[in-house]
A and B are shown apart, each in its own frame.
Chain A
Amino acid sequence: MTVKIVTDTLSDITGDLTKDLDVVVVPLYVRFGEEIFRDRVEITTEEFYRRLVYESTLPSTTQPTPHDFSEVYNKLAKETDEILVITISSKLSGTYQSAMQAKKMFQGKAQINVVDSLSVAMGQGLIVISTVNAVRKGAGLEEATNFAQKAVSRSHLIAYFDTLKYLAKGGRIGKAQGLLGSMLSVKPILMVKDGEMSPLTRVRSLNGGFDYLFSVVANAGKLESLAVEHATTPGDADKLVERFSTIFPKENIIRSIISPVVGTHAGPNALAVSYLEAE
């Protein structure tokens, strides 16, 4: 029986990719005032970003409940006895805790392992994809768990932000706090480090951002996979992909959209680049 892999919507694994990988994606919740939506189930990405830009109330986000995970575990337990959950960084969301709590409450006979990706968006997604491939090559639960844990340290995410306003409001700013309060208009570049947002540098323009993101990836050594994501600006992401195509096969660059939940913190115009170092 093969290992079934579960992740959350913050992995930015959606649509056809979900089907191709045959993974279960548990949604987080997005709240605008009194309205609560399940991420990408009850609100589309486009609708979300439209409201983020035009509405005065900023949305807030909530992790899936332990119950949400329990339902998934119970359902999967009917088809397999090995479940591997890969969640968003436990330092950015309580999703990992919910997954763990549901594991404790689980009474079926399936074995469940939960891995903290210490990342988010495609930084998390690439770990999931790589682990799915390992399972397809025959890895059992323990082997796949070890594989995913090692992939965590191979995964990197850097992001260009148009503003830190949303990150600051959402309380997820972490060590990037030092970049707040600039009196010149600057665009912060952040990375995920030890599971938290951490400052890298600042640029003054989108083109400066392109240059910086490109130089980081170009100096990263041999890559297993590369992903480019946008929040509201697909054209900018296309330009980035074009630049990366000189150092990585263009057809293998994964394109996705930053999930509404992450978008709540990243804000419009953000771009994210994730890559997995080769083993």
Chain B
Amino acid sequence: MTERKTIAGQDLREMFSAAASWLEKSSSEIDALNVFPVPDGDTGTNMMLTMRSTMEEAFRAPDNSAAGVASAMAKGALMGARGNSGVILSQVWRGLAEGLAGKESFTTADFAKALEQASKTAYKGVSNPVEGTMLTVMKAAASAARDQVDSGNEDIISVLEAVVEAARDSVANTPLLLKVLREAGVVDAGGQGIYTLFEGALRYLRGEVELMRLRKPQIIVSEIPHTTPLPQAAVVDEVPYGYCTEFMLKGEKIDTEAIKKRLEHKGESLIVVGDESAVRIHIHTLDPGNIVHWATKLGTMHQVSIRNMDEQHQDFLEMQKERVPTADTAVITVVSGEGLNDIFASLGAAVVIPGGQTMNPSTKDILQAVESAPSDKIIILPNNKNIILTAEQVHSLTQKQVAVVPTTTIPQGVVALLAFDYEADFKTNTRIMENAISSVKSIEITRSIRSTKVNGLKIRRKQPIGLLDGELIVAGNSDLDVLNKLLDKMEMDKAEIITIYHGEDVEAAEAEQISAGITEKYPKVQVEVVRGGQPHYNYIISVE
């Protein structure tokens, strides 16, 4: 491919115009990702509308220099910025314009500098910047350009390739930085928008115009485990989001800093950007009237928009229903230990109720979980003998259809959940999951709480003991000793996979030692070690 060392104004305009159309194609999918700062599902639309205004102004600009086009884009963006993401985007263009000031055309070095300025300006516009958002993605993009230029890259296309790559990775990483994204199982919508814009610009420069007409941008999928909020988190939904309030303020010598200070405590997601003569204000507030009234004293108001975010949120919830996998049955499970909680959530449990040995949840706890689960058909995995009966009470207390698959151990719960069939109906799934229980043997290793005699075994207080499928059958000198004695009693020639969930009092290194011991004894078996973090049981081990 030929090298491209400079970009003039005309191409700057064309590349972002192509990028804007590219973004437009996925704006509704980006809307569906939008959960932060408010799950109102309009980020894609807002960015698209902002880009329209940005590019309209760019095409109106008489000046064909890179600086002229960039500054027209910044002006158009500020005039047409919509929503949180739109206003931040307008600051990206403003920073870019500042970085390209005076340039007829730009090189990779100019581009890197301009992106850095764009990132800086975007951060500055937001009163409390949050990571895991479009700001983070912008910063990653700028830093990738800087690295390329520092290593001597003069080819704009390959620098932009690195920028796109970095933006993509950064978007995929957003759920790690922002919990709401993790819980919703999405990447950041604004970040996705930024990525799509850079990707569109790159495709244009590569000459893929025809291809762009046929294709659609990809929504980035993150591999970061999706965590499910506990049932009580549902209460948070009751807090009203208020009104998304935005307007342009025009006048003379407007003091943006003073406006920021004044509005800081009037709401959330405050952004105040612009210059002395034109300022754009964006805030999520419960009392828009007050703010609008105050602002009229500072200058003339334009493009006033007040949107009810609770209403938008309802629409958003409807939109989400279509996005979530097809299964109409939700699985609820009872687990104790942070690791086990995350494991069950990552395997698709809709709700994880904390509880287990010595801390059995009440019928009310389970009922609450059933009611909060996003389905009318619920399968409960109690994972403990003493919880089955409690769980079975729930069906008479709710309108929902409830079935209990009587798992008595964690390994049984895991195999039952894994066997869940996305295409099967409620009854069939209940049967499939029940059948799965017998495919696993459960080992639990704990300490005896008193001296006793069970199944012909003399047991001292605090001695390591081992249970197989809930029955105490060995006692030993150490956890490893107990495990070996247990494995000797089992038919290991059919075993394929052993999973070790180590408890809260066990170091990872100890668990690895146990794992190495098993591998040595049964080299054909695949062993996996995960932190369960459960109380009481040093080890819960499944043999499949």
Contacts and interface: CB of A to CB of B under 8 A. Distances in A.
Interface of B is mostly: loop
Given A184-B499, A191-B423, A205 B544 contact: yes
A183 B342 CA distance: 8
Given A62-B211, A182-B347, A204 B226 contact: no
Contact of B218 (A34, A171, A200): A171
B215 A173 contact: no
B225 A184 contact: no
A63 B544 CA distance: 43
A65 to B, nearest CB: 8
- Chain B interface size, as a band, is 35 or more
Contact of B530 (A63, A183, A202): A183
A181 B223 contact: yes
B421 A184 contact: no
B348 interface: yes
Contacts of A98: 214
A175 B420 contact: no
- Chain A interface size, as a band, is 35 or more
B346 A94 contact: no
Nearest to A178: B325
B330 to A, nearest CB: 12
A182 B423 contact: no
A182 B346 contact: yes
A201 B327 CA distance: 11
A65 B210 CA distance: 9
B325 A205 contact: no
A181 B226 contact: yes
Contact of B420 (A173, A177, A201): A201
B290 interface: no
B421 A200 contact: yes
A179 B327 CA distance: 12
A63 B422 contact: no
Contacts of A65: 210
Contact of A198 (B346, B419, B422): B422
Contacts of B496: 204-205, 207-208
Interface string A168-180: 1101010101111
A119 to B, nearest CB: 16
B473 interface: no
A184 B1 contact: no
A139 B414 CA distance: 52
B1 A34 contact: yes
Given A98-B214, A184-B528, A201-B422, A177 B348 contact: no
Given A97-B214, A171-B221, A205-B544, A180 B226 contact: yes
Contact of A200 (B222, B348, B423): B423
Nearest to B326: A175
B325 A177 contact: yes
B70 interface: no
B526 interface: yes
Contacts of B544: 204-205
B224 interface: yes
Contacts of A204: 418, 496-497, 544
A205 B499 CA distance: 12
A50 interface: no
Given A182-B225, A183-B342, 7 more contacts: A101-B214, A171-B220, A173-B221, A178-B422, A181-B222, A193-B423, A199-B422
17 contacts: A62-B211, A65-B210, A94-B214, A171-B218, A171-B220, A177-B325, A178-B324, A179-B348, A181-B224, A181-B226, A181-B346, A186-B347, A191-B423, A199-B325, A201-B420, A204-B497, A208-B496
Q: Which 5 A-B pairs have CB atoms at the shortest separation, nearest pair first?
A: A171-B218, A181-B225, A178-B325, A183-B346, A199-B422
